[in-house]
Structure 1
Amino acid sequence: MSFRGKKESSPVSPLKKRRASWSELWLNHHNLLSSSPPPPLQFQSLTPPISNSKTLLPDLTLLLSDLTLLTIINKIPKSQRKILSLVCKRWFKLHGCLVRSIKVSDWEFLASGKMISRFPNLDTVDLVSGCLISQPNSGVLLNHRLVSFTVGLGSYQSWIEENLLCVEMVDIGLSKLADGCLNLRKLVVTNTSELGLLNVAEVCLRLQELELHKCSDTVLLGIGAFENLQILRLVGNVDGLCSNSLVSDIGLMILAQGCKRLVKLELVGCEGGFDGVKEIGECCQMLEEFTVCDHKMDSGWLEGLRYCENLKTLKLVSCKKIDYDNAGLGECLSGCCPALERLHLEKCQLRDKNTVKALFKMCEAAREIVFQDCWGLDNDIFSLATAFGRVKLLYLEGCSLLTTPGLESVILHWHELEHLKVVSCKNIKDSEISPSLSALFSALVEFQWRPDTRSHLSSSLMETGIGKKGSKFFKKT
């Protein structure tokens, strides 16, 4: 007899559990997500949706004062400050407060008052380009050594005269400039009158540097009102630019009586003569630097420099004739400028031996001599430079007529020579250098030798110790 009872269940091993189905796995995962706590609400409230047109982030620069922010912006290079002015209106205004110098090309920018409101702290203003009414559709740009402007068809000489702003408009603009720029220190202007200068002088008491283009004797009547004027540049009759401006002895005398504190004076395209230069020397006793460019001076003007007792620098530029022939002028002017330290001749005609001799005799105390692109400077003319007895620096550039023996015959007499620079003098050859000249080169403090493209003296003498004996450095170019 068999008995079939209920089979007892045996315990299931953990390794043999039944694998859950895919539906069970999905159901368990869904229940787990539904039972997880929701994210905190504070994170949702701190990150609101940002609109494309407006941000809610605070401007932390508002906590800084204008003075502090100006100090920070002032540390940034000038080339990058203009970009900062585009940040906001406040930064745009602060950027304008940092601008000190401006060159006006559009006169309406000054006349409308926008320039003063945009840049309230200007101390240097150039109005020359703004006084010229440029042709808007002209693609012709004319560059002169004094000014750049666009011109239309025809002769540009007549175009300049016809397209200059009238004197009355320039004077009105100067009056607005003076009212808005009380700290003005330098002004460059053209075609103004003595009334316009007086308006500036009455308000801008700190003005120290003035440059007048298209100047005349009448304009100089208002220059004496500038009590602190120290640097003055007068541009009168310039060939190819201004032909109806005249600065004569009368203007130079007015200048001397009104500007007794002048330190630097430059005359460009001015006339005059001995009387005017003498008056400047007697009245402007603080004058240290005198520059004459493209002059129309009368004969004998050079003798007037004997009255400039404190003159330290004499610079002649683009002078077709330094002075007229006068055989006895050299002995008369010998050593008449004992304080002179620098003589600079640039683009001058030096073919007149008597005039050059007189000039060198007058400047025999000079310690620094510069000849730059001077015509007629050959061995014979350069031999007159032995009149300089205490030269420490000689700079020659573009003197194509001067040869190596001519250079040697002079500089061997200068026992105090320390600095020598020779550039683009094609007739000075390395092969003609004597042992005496080579020994002189080795004792120099500074030596720059590049007379032509074939010169190899600098590299060949490096091993000899040139520039090291009793010196500080050697400059190779």
Structure 2
Amino acid sequence: MPSRRPVPSLQLKKSALGWPGFWFRQKEVKHVVFKVPLDPLPQSPKRRSFAAAREPYPPGEAPDYTALLSDDLLLRILSHLPPTARDSACLVSRRWLRILGRIRRSLTLLDWSFLDSPSRLVARFPALTDVDLVPASISPPVPSSGVLLTSGPISVQPDLEFESSSAMSQFLPADTVDRGLEILARGCPNLRKLSLVAVASELALMKVADECSTLQELELHRCTDMSLRAISAFSNLQILKLVGSVEGLYPGVGVTDVGLTILAHGCKRLVKLELSRCEGSYDGITAIGKCCVMLEELTIRDHRMDAGWMGGLSFCGNLKTLRLLACRRIDEDPGNTDHLGSCPAIERLHLQRCQLRDKRTLSALLVMCEHVREIIFQDCWGLDNDMFGTTSICRYPSLRRLLLLHLIFVLWVGSDSIFLLSFL
């Protein structure tokens, strides 16, 4: 039986060490990843910017991170700022100043030279919808007097000889105003409200009406009959305020029956009308009532109208609110109350700073507004015991509320037509 020889064990030939074996042959390595030397990765520009943000910068050399935002995105962000904070935000940079100019919708112009250059007003505020040109239309004195004269919403600097100067010398020339109105009309076609002094020519007003087709509210100072000849060109006009003169600032002839008739035939879509220190009579108010059938609110301030004008209110069939402000007299001779008529749709009667010493006139006014639901007497004079008793003309259920605000002297006579009586 042949003997078995032990099979010799195969001896493996050692191969040459590779880089891993040469690197880790000295000792056992459990965490290989920490033994591999890694070169530092280059930082991205975004990481470098945030790392640099942690380092202090000298004053005035800090980077502007809003430069990464587009103008439209920054405009949406800045539009959420309150109006009181936008003026201070304009001082951040020229870009913020330009973008915030696109947000502004209303502007009161104080210096007419800002309007003469199209690259200033139009480029700075391209989205204006409400512009007031009245303060800038009055010529500033040379040299400056350092005195500010305020009458209502208007503030001007009078010259040292203000009392002896003529009224025409206070306003800018007509050609200057015409040129400014043309620039404004071309640059701001989306205007909805415009306030100006009526020294402009008829062609300039028609240019504004042609370019600014969406204009709905117009305020004319130092208005006369002739300045209303172009009023019919404003086809979409709904709110109109006519100021004949401002006491202490400038005198004026005002608007008469001729101007009121032109207004009535030219603005038949009026909803609100205010006549301040204007003249007129029964004929002018009647023309407005017959032609302006959509008129809902009428305000008469410190009027110069002839006796009997109040009878024309009966033709205002859709009138809902009647305001009499600062009237020294309501109507000298309203006539027989049996022939006055009434305003069937009127709901609110507001008398503020008026002289109510004539019981006959107040009775005629309440007969005209016998269907009124709310009467407000504010800062009025002469409303004594007998005068206040005339409110019983407006019987229940029409009269729902009677407010007495800051009256000088009041004695109340009970009436079952009063639901609310307040003294403030």
TM range (shorter): 0.7 to 0.9
Structure 2 CA distance for aligned equivalents of residues 366 and 61 of structure 1: 58
2:391 maps to: 385
1:251 maps to: 259
1:102 maps to: 107
Q: Secondary structure at the match of 1:98?
A: coil
For structure 2, list consecutive stretches of 5 or more residues without a partner in the other structure: 1-39
Structure 1 CA distance for aligned equivalents of residues 265 and 164 of structure 2: 34
Identity of aligned residues (%): 47
Q: Does residue 91 in structure 1 map to residue 92 in structure 2?
A: no
Query: Per-residue deviation at 1:73?
Result: 0.7
Structure 2 CA distance for aligned equivalents of residues 254 and 200 of structure 1: 19
Query: Per-residue deviation at 1:158?
Result: 3.1
Q: CA 1:157–1:365 in structure 2 vs 1: closer, same or farther (change >3 Å)?
A: farther
Query: Per-residue deviation at 1:373?
Result: 1.6
Structure 1 CA distance for aligned equivalents of residues 100 and 164 of structure 2: 39
- Of 133, 146, 158, which residue of structure 2 is paired with 1:139? 146
- Of 253, 273, 276, which residue of structure 2 is paired with 1:268? 276
1:223 maps to: 231
Structure 2 CA distance for aligned equivalents of residues 393 and 193 of structure 1: 47
Structure 1 CA distance for aligned equivalents of residues 385 and 254 of structure 2: 38
Query: Per-residue deviation at 1:225?
Result: 0.5
Superposed, 1:231-250 pairs within 5 Å as 231-250=239-258
Structure 2 CA distance for aligned equivalents of residues 422 and 89 of structure 1: 52
Letter in 2 for 1:381: M
Q: Secondary structure at the match of 2:165?
A: helix
Q: Does residue 175 in structure 1 map to residue 178 in structure 2?
A: no
Aligned partners of 1:215 and 1:234 also within 8 Å: yes
Structure 1 CA distance for aligned equivalents of residues 319 and 151 of structure 2: 30
Letter in 2 for 1:255: L
Aligned partners of 1:178 and 1:200 also within 8 Å: yes
Structure 2 CA distance for aligned equivalents of residues 240 and 225 of structure 1: 32
Aligned partners of 2:293 and 2:316 also within 8 Å: yes
Structure 1 CA distance for aligned equivalents of residues 144 and 245 of structure 2: 29
Superposed, 1:365-380 pairs within 5 Å as 365-380=371-386
Query: Per-residue deviation at 1:159?
Result: 5.8
1:441 maps to: none
Query: Per-residue deviation at 1:354?
Result: 1.6
Aligned partners of 1:368 and 1:393 also within 8 Å: yes
1:202 maps to: 210
Q: CA 1:55–1:346 in structure 2 vs 1: closer, same or farther (change >3 Å)?
A: closer
Aligned partners of 1:327 and 1:354 also within 8 Å: no
Q: CA 1:381–1:177 in structure 2 vs 1: closer, same or farther (change >3 Å)?
A: same
Query: Per-residue deviation at 1:381?
Result: 1.1
Structure 2 CA distance for aligned equivalents of residues 79 and 413 of structure 1: 48
Structure 2 CA distance for aligned equivalents of residues 234 and 241 of structure 1: 16
2:422 maps to: 421
1:301 maps to: 309
Q: CA 1:362–1:51 in structure 2 vs 1: closer, same or farther (change >3 Å)?
A: closer
Structure 1 CA distance for aligned equivalents of residues 128 and 416 of structure 2: 51
Query: Per-residue deviation at 1:62?
Result: 4.1
Aligned partners of 2:378 and 2:407 also within 8 Å: yes
Q: CA-to-partner distance for each residue in 1:341-384, whole Å, 9 max, x for gaps?
A: 00011111111222111100010111110111212111111111
Aligned partners of 2:310 and 2:334 also within 8 Å: no
Letter in 2 for 1:383: G
Q: Secondary structure at the match of 1:151?
A: coil
Query: Per-residue deviation at 1:146?
Result: 4.6
Structure 2 CA distance for aligned equivalents of residues 414 and 342 of structure 1: 15
Q: CA-to-partner distance for each residue in 1:5-53, whole Å, 9 max, x for gaps?
A: xxxxxxxxxxxxxxxxxxxxxxxxxxxxxxxxxxx8979x967899859
- Of 154, 158, 163, which residue of structure 1 is paired with 2:170? 163
2:368 maps to: 362
Letter in 2 for 1:337: C
Compute the RMSD of aligned alpha carbons.
Answer: 2.5
Aligned partners of 2:385 and 2:413 also within 8 Å: no
Q: Does residue 123 in structure 1 map to residue 129 in structure 2?
A: yes
Aligned partners of 1:331 and 1:361 also within 8 Å: no
- Of 315, 320, 323, which residue of structure 1 is paired with 2:323? 315
- Structure having greater relative contact order (Cα 8 Å, sep ≥ 6): 2
Aligned partners of 1:262 and 1:286 also within 8 Å: yes
Structure 1 CA distance for aligned equivalents of residues 266 and 335 of structure 2: 35
Return the structure number with greater helix share: 1
Aligned partners of 2:151 and 2:246 also within 8 Å: no
Aligned partners of 1:104 and 1:127 also within 8 Å: yes
Aligned partners of 2:311 and 2:334 also within 8 Å: no
Letter in 2 for 1:414: S
Aligned partners of 1:282 and 1:307 also within 8 Å: yes
Structure 2 CA distance for aligned equivalents of residues 355 and 287 of structure 1: 24
2:33 maps to: none
Instruction: Give the total of aligned pairs.
Output: 375
Structure 2 CA distance for aligned equivalents of residues 157 and 399 of structure 1: 38
Aligned partners of 2:221 and 2:245 also within 8 Å: no
Q: CA 1:117–1:322 in structure 2 vs 1: closer, same or farther (change >3 Å)?
A: same
Letter in 1 for 2:277: G
Structure 1 CA distance for aligned equivalents of residues 172 and 304 of structure 2: 27
- Of 395, 399, 411, which residue of structure 1 is paired with 2:403? 395
Q: Secondary structure at the match of 2:229?
A: helix
Letter in 1 for 2:307: S
1:7 maps to: none
Query: Per-residue deviation at 1:326?
Result: 4.2
Q: CA 1:118–1:378 in structure 2 vs 1: closer, same or farther (change >3 Å)?
A: same
Structure 1 CA distance for aligned equivalents of residues 182 and 329 of structure 2: 40
Query: Per-residue deviation at 1:260?
Result: 0.6
- Of 148, 151, 170, which residue of structure 1 is paired with 2:158? 151
Q: Secondary structure at the match of 1:233?
A: strand
What TM-score results when the alignment is normalised by the length of structure 1? 0.74
